[in-house]
Amino acid sequence: MLELETLLAFGLGAGLMALAPVVAAVAGKDSKITGAVSGTGRSITKQGLKIGLVVADKTSGAVKGISRGLAEVGESFTDVLAEAKADLAQSRTSTK
């Protein structure tokens, strides 16, 4: 569903975001490296989330279409089953 590169990028971004408080504690909140780590992590994570949302939206539409199709197949099958039962009942009464 999701490509390996997308998952890796998301994981890297999330890791950088989780690491940002540690970097801030060591280097200071206002240091350039703290801003770079947190900004990059946030950006990468946000891009991964956007891709995930798009994929989920596309998948959701496909699943809805499939479920509608299966519901129609189920209705048709139920109708055919009812007709078959009626035919059997009619053939039983006509043979008696």
Q: How crowded is the C-beta side of 50, counted as CA atoms within 13 Å?
A: 8
pLDDT of residue 34: 84
pLDDT above 60 (res 1): no
pLDDT digits over 13-55, tens only? 778 777 778 888 888 888 888 888 888 878 887 887 787 778 7
- Please give the Cα distance from 29 to 56 (Å, whole number): 36
For residue 76, give every residue at least 6 positions away whose Cβ sits within 8 Å of its Cβ, in sequence order, or none.
Answer: none
- Please give the Cα distance from 53 to 26 (Å, whole number): 35
